[in-house]
Structure 1
Amino acid sequence: MPNHPEYPIYRSNEMLNEEFPFKIEIRTPSAMNRVLHAHEHLQLCYLMSGSCLHWAVGRQFVLTKGDLFSIPPFQEHRLEPREDMDFVMIQVDFMPQAVNENFRDIAHMQTFLDFAYIRPLLSEADLMPKMTLPAATQSIVETVLESLLAEWREREEGYRLAIKAELLKLLVIAGRQYKRFTQTQSQNERQKVALHREAFYEAIDYMQSHYDEDLHLDEVAARALMAPSYFSNMLKLVKGKSYIELLSAIRVQASMELLADTDLTITEIATRVGYNHISHFNRTFKRHTGITPGDYRKHQA
């Protein structure tokens, strides 16, 4: 997940359009990335036909028709064809903002979060980073993917709205299917996924209760059982903000309450909410609110 010299990490602004960070492609043995790599965005893949090999979390997995799997941000992986076997795979790449605020509801759907962002990170032998969809669900998913492909290729007026709608449908299907899938898991498997999910939310709670301290991304990410870059990306998904953005927002909110309810000086308030330099506090406050701390206090009088 962090930057490793042995494989490239593709940034979202290199791979996707910043204004609409989405794309969908067809992968075959002649059109695939066999180099070990990682990327900043989320990738959902579905095997339409055939079979291939997927290397992830340091292990090799056999994929067959009907398999749906996710590749979360910063996870190293690569595809490899199986001898004398063809395959067709649909690959969907996107950042959460591709579906704008609609993604906020999906981000809080526990089953989708577990399937797409948490479970693939667990490398234990009994946790396969994929789901084999039942026949009826395969038909639905394939229809959604075909619609996404058509909208992406033709790009007629309104295609972005159409893609957002179909993408949301795909994510909901994945979340619902994972909920059914977990019923076949052992209690031990479910506990492993739940442990990582709970650690993530506990790290957020820690930020909200210790914002006045000298917090560092590495320290908070360790509490979340995640690499720093991955933790910050998860925050962007769930909270709509990176680590720095979220911490700043928490501190500014606390300072607003102190400005309105106390007679503390602005310098004292800056220190209380975790800023060592008044100039940094003033810049951050204005960036979040549009006005200076002094002006905010005047408006509360």
Structure 2
Amino acid sequence: MKFQEALIPARTKDMFLLKLYHSQVKPGKRQNRRHHHTEFEIALFKSGSGTYTVGDTAYAIQPGDIFLFSTHEVHCITEIHEGEDMLLLNVHFEPRFIWSTGNDLFDAKYLKIFFERNDAFENRLDRQNPATAVIRSLILQMEDEFAKQLPEYELMVKIQLLTILVTVSRHYDYVSRESSRPAVHVKSLSQIEDAIHYIHDHLDSDLSLDDLAKAANMSRSYFSTIFKRLNGISPWDYITIKRIEQSIEYLESTDSSILEIACRCGFNNTANFNRAFKKITGKTPSEYR
């Protein structure tokens, strides 16, 4: 698999708010491996055909297909048919790329397609819906913005992403119209973002719910509720995934022992590390290495 990445970085070192990258995969059957991440994902298939397995549902893939995935939603390409390689363009973005208080025009309400789905929702956008071609064009425009990097290209990418989310909400019957989710106060957005920065600055340390709630200046219960409402996963799931992502970097770039990597990533023993790693990636650290 080959990656060409383009990033919009976060304020926290070594983190990103949005990542666009290409994947090229050879034909063949593939293990159905659990695959989680804290970001939302939009995937555009440029070539190749096969099968995308999402939970218990298998979707046929053909060029031009677009898939949407929420945080912590298990998905895996399980087969690529013989013929041409599969080439796809992935956009991963943190929920706070949309709801961060530094952006007056952006709000958590635009993330309904990830949080408030109805029974008609499918991960693969309807091929026959004319809006799918519009979204496909917007994704390619994002790719072009990253390639040219003209002045203010980061803002243009955000505008294009927001346009995609609004288009999905308007033109597909995928979003529940009977939402009971109350609005989140703008002050709470800033407080949750402070807690996220605290998490990233202390991934290698012991973290408690009290620590996170204090960083957000919230009560424990209110912090947990608002965090999950904005990010789609609990604070602990978020921390675990980020620690595993950090450990993968160490596995790929160092010769450190599994125990050393576990300790550097905030795990107090290899048993907990192995259990968490397999839950997130489908493999043990040793198998991954």
Structure 1 residues 162, 72: CA separation in 2 closer, same or farther (over 3 Å shift)? Answer: same
Q: 1:11-160 counterparts in 2 under 5 A?
A: 17-19=9-11, 20-30=16-26, 35-86=33-84, 87-99=86-98, 100=100, 101-102=102-103, 105=106, 107-109=108-110, 113=112, 115-119=113-117, 128-134=122-128, 136-160=130-154
Once the two structures are TM-superposed, the CA of residue 234 in structure 1 deviates from its matched residue by: 2.9
Contact in 1 for aligned 2:64/2:136 (Cα 8 Å) = no
CA contact (8 A) 2:54 2:76 kept: yes
What SS does the corresponding residue of 2:115 show, helix, strand or coil? helix
Greater alpha carbon shift after TM alignment, 129-138 vs 157-166: 129-138
TM-score, length-scaled by structure 1: 0.49
C-alpha spacing 1:138/1:82, structure 2 compared with 1 (3 Å): same
Distance 1:165 1:33 in 2: 36
Q: How much has 1:62 moved relative to structure 2?
A: 2.0
- Supply the distance in 2 between the matched residues of 1:203 and 1:145 (Cα, whole angstroms): 29
Query: Which of 157, 160, 169 is 1:163 aligned to?
Result: 157
- Matched to 1:69, the amino acid is F
2:201 counterpart residue number? none
Cα contact 2:26–2:80 (8 A) shared by 1: no
Q: Note the 1:99-248 alignment, pairs <5 A.
A: 99=98, 100=100, 101-102=102-103, 105=106, 107-109=108-110, 113=112, 115-119=113-117, 128-134=122-128, 136-178=130-172, 181-182=173-174, 193=176, 197-198=179-180, 200-201=181-182, 216=221, 232-236=227-231
Q: Which amino acid aligns with 1:116?
A: F
State the distance in 1 between where 2:107 and 2:184 align. 20
Residues 62 and 151 of structure 1, relative CA distance in 2, 3 Å threshold: same
Where is the helix percentage greater, Structure 1 or Structure 2? 1
Does structure 2 retain, via aligned residues, the 8 Å contact 1:27–1:88?
Answer: yes
Q: Distance in 2 between matches of 1:158 and 1:170?
A: 19
For 2:40 and 2:17, locate their aligned partners in 1 and report how far apart those are by CA, in whole Å.
Answer: 11
Quote how far apart the aligned CAs of 1:82 are.
2.9
SS in 2 for 1:61: strand
Tell which structure's C-alpha radius of gyration is larger: 1
Q: Indicate the SS of the match to 1:172.
A: helix
Letter in 1 for 2:91: V
RCO comparison, higher one (Cα < 8 Å, 6+): 2
1:17-40 C-alpha deviation (Å, 9 max, x unpaired): 323511112233249997421001
Amino acid aligned to 2:167: I
**Structural RMSD (CA):** 4.2
- Matched residues in 2 for 1:50 and 1:76: separation? 22
Q: How many Å apart are 1:132 and its aligned residue?
A: 1.4
Equivalent residue letter for 1:68: I
Deviation, 1:94, is 0.7
Q: Which residue of 2 aligns with 1:286?
A: none
Change (3 A) 1:52 1:233: farther
For normalisation by structure 2, the TM-score amounts to 0.50
Deviations 1:172-215 (A, max 9, x none): 2222222xx35xxxxxxx8xx567x43x54999xxxxxxxxx86
Instruction: List runs of 5+ in structure 1 lacking aligned partners.
Output: 1-14, 183-189, 205-213, 222-230, 244-301
Q: Secondary structure of the equivalent of 2:49?
A: strand
Secondary structure in 2 aligned to 1:84? coil
Distance 1:16 1:75, change over 3 A: farther
Percent of residue pairs bearing the same amino acid type: 15
Deviation at 1:43, TM superposition (A): 0.8
Counterpart CA distance in 1 for 2:150 and 2:184 is: 43
